[in-house]
Amino acid sequence: MAHAGEKRKRDNGNGSNVVGTIKHPLSGFELKAVSSGSENCNDAVINLENTPFQTSASRRFHSELSSPVSSFLKNDPELKLQLKNDIYAVYNLSPSPELNDPNNWFVLIADFKWNQKQVEDLYLIAICHQHDIRSLRDLTEDHLPLLKNILEEGKEAILKRYGIHENKLRIYLHYQPSYFHLHVHFTVLGQDAPGSFVEHAHLLCDVIQNIESNPQYYQTRTLTFALREHEALLKKFKELRDI
């Protein structure tokens, strides 16, 4: 063990030795008293008490090197945006100049559940620009141009970008939807996408034909859908049933 002020030789990197002073970690401690027995040549247990480090001390930690640890200790952690799922950003986009009617405009974007690497897991969402179409229930014959535009333009864009033909696509709407702004799902057949089962998904081509046969189809039709046991909507249905 090196004592305070002890001199040792060290290599200065050029092959020659330099004599330097090594400061012992406990050099600042002083022996005040021995309660009993003798301290000579005997092992001892030393209990040291220390208060939590001060804020000023933490600022010197890794002062020359920025690291996640030093940022955390300084109570100034770096925040990184991992996902921005803002469907309403579509309102800030401008429609293509070749579109004569903005009411038929929509954007086709990748769903956050798809990593955009495996084409066989393709999952896209078409979000319409109109603000007042909340779900399947709001659709009437006035919306047929929009629905047909989403169907045809969406298939064409996927074929051009990903090389997937329309006969390999499942194109559908959810009811009840996960959020109340009209959007259409595009997935690949064979993919077990969430909500693609019959109690939740309505094929877009069927929706178009239903409205063409009856313009008020989705205002009058009883629609069956599944709910999880603890969902708030199921609780509301149970409350209304008991009234």
Active site residues: 183
CB 23 within 8 A of CB 4: yes
Best CA proximity match to 149, nearest among 99, 202, 210: 99
Strand partners, 169: 188
Strand partners, 125: 109, 185
CB 140 within 8 A of CB 216: yes
| Torsion sign (Cα): 148, 154, 159, 163 | negative
CA 135 to chain centre: 25
Q: What is the dihedral of CA 176, 182, 188, 189, to 10 degrees?
A: 40
Residues in Cβ contact with 117 at an 8 Å cutoff, skipping those fewer than 6 apart:
none
- Determine the Cα angle at 84 with ends 98 and 89, to 5°: 30
H helices present in 93-216, as ranges: 144-162, 204-213
CB 66 within 8 A of CB 158: no
